[in-house]
């Protein structure tokens, strides 16, 4: 059974700081890995998707890396801003049997960027 | 593009009543839709996967008779929580499969259910 762990559970940083969020998963047989952002009481916003054959993806101030063999991914946020405050979720995409697939989520990292 | 809506966005009901939540893909056809549940400070847990026109596949531990899922069209799936109890209070989120090459799911904004 796939398990996804995110460290730290919560992080508070001053504005402008660079930071790294960590994600690990137990089963390396994944299709893709995806990072999401969730604001309080809201749905999910997809940030980056890394295919299993890729090592990293970049979008603006965000950079996500994937080391499939070791079961790890990191999300790097450069020059953090108060608007980045949210919960960041890591999810791995793997087979659920047959032709179906499923996302397995971590519990998330609650990020607070202080002005 | 790829917008998913949910209705209602929040609902409060009495214990023992049934509640229906709708999930619609507004600008794409979702052959597969997924229902998740999220308790406070917990991760999203997949409840079931539904393919249009067929029965839903439930995850282990999810009662299929309590959480009825109907996926009658390529743009609409419904989740009915039958005989709801306070422990069913949670945040329910649906997603639709965008049928891209990368197994991308597009998520709805969620429905907050509170059972008194």
A60-80 confidence digits (pLDDT tens): 999 999 999 999 999 999 999
Interface of A with B in 51-110 (CB under 8 A): 51, 89, 91, 93, 96, 100-108
- Nearest by CB: A49 against B46, B104, B110: B104
* Mean pLDDT score across all residues of chain B: 90
Of B110, B65, B61, B67, the closest CA to residue B88 belongs to: B67
A35-44, A72-81, B55-64, B91-100: segment of lowest average pLDDT: B91-100
For chain A, what is the largest distance between any 2 Cα atoms, rounded to a whole number of angstroms?
49
Note whether B94 and B79 are within 8 A (CB).
Answer: yes
Tell which B residues from 9 to 68 touch A, by Cβ distance under 8 Å. Answer: 32, 34, 41-46, 49, 57
Q: B4: which residues sit within 8 A by CB, 6+ positions away? A: B23, B24, B25, B26, B30, B94, B95, B96, B106, B107, B108, B109
| φ, ψ dihedrals at B87, nearest 5° | -70, -10
How far apart CA A106 and CA A91 sit, in angstroms, is 6
Q: How confident is the model at residue B100 (pLDDT cuts 50, 70, 90)?
A: low
Side-chain-side CA neighbours of A63 within 13 Å: the count stands at: 10
SS3 A84: helix
Nearest to B36 by CA among A99, A105, A30: A105
Which one is predicted more confidently, A113 or B103? A113
Share of chain B above pLDDT 70, in %: 94
The answer to whether residue A23 scores a pLDDT higher than 70 is: yes
Chain A positions in Cβ-Cβ contact with residue B34 (cut-off 8 Å): 102-103
| pLDDT per residue as tens digits for the range B21-76 | 999 999 888 888 999 999 988 889 999 998 888 889 999 999 999 999 998 888 99
Cα dihedral B76, B57, B1, A78 sign: positive
* Residue contacts between A and B (CB atoms, under 8 Å): 53
* pLDDT on residue B41: 81
Give the pLDDT band (50/70/90) at residue A3.
very high
Taking all residues of chain A, what is their mean pLDDT, rounded to a whole number?
Answer: 93
**The pLDDT of residue B101 is above 60:** no
Mean pLDDT throughout B6-17? 96
For A98-104, the CB contacts below 8 A with 24+ separation are: A100/B32, A100/B49, A100/B57, A101/A31, A101/B103, A102/B34, A102/B46, A102/B49, A103/A34, A103/B34, A103/B44, A103/B46, A103/B105, A104/A2, A104/A3, A104/A4, A104/A25, A104/B46
**Integer CA distances (angstroms), A51 to A29, B36, B104, in order:** 12, 23, 11
pLDDT at B99: 63
Instruction: Give the distance from residue A113's alpha carbon to the nearest chain B alpha carbon, in angstroms.
Output: 19
**pLDDT, position A81:** 97
Contact A102 B46 (CB under 8 A): yes
Calculate how close chain A gets to B73, using CA atoms only, in Å.
Answer: 18
Q: Which residues from A are below 8 Å from B106, CB to CB?
A: 46
């Amino acid at each position: 059974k796939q398990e996804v762990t995110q460290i730290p559970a919560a992080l508070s940083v001053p504005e402008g700081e660079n930071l790294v969020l960590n994600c690990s998963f137990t089963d390396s047989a994944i299709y893709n890995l995806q990072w999401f952002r969730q604001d309080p009481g809201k749905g999910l916003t997809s940030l980056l998707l890394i295919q299993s054959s890729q090592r990293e993806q970049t979008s603006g101030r965000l950079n996500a890396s994937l080391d499939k063999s070791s079961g790890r991914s990191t999300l790097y946020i450069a020059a953090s801003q108060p608007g980045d405050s949210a919960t960041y979720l890591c999810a791995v995409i793997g087979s659920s049997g047959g032709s179906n697939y499923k996302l397995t989520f971590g519990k998330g990292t609650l990020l607070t960027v202080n002005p | 593009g790829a917008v998913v809506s949910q209705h209602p966005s929040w609902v409060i009901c009495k214990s023992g009543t049934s509640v229906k939540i709708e999930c619609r893909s507004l600008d794409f056809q979702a052959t597969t839709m997924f229902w998740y549940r999220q308790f406070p400070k917990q991760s999203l847990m997949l409840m079931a996967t539904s393919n249009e026109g067929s029965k839903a596949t439930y995850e282990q531990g999810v009662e299929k008779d309590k959480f009825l899922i109907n996926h009658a069209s390529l743009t609409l799936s419904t989740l009915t929580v039958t005989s709801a109890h306070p422990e069913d209070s949670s945040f329910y989120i649906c997603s639709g499969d965008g049928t891209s090459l990368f197994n991308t799911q597009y998520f709805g904004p969620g429905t907050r259910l509170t059972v008194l």
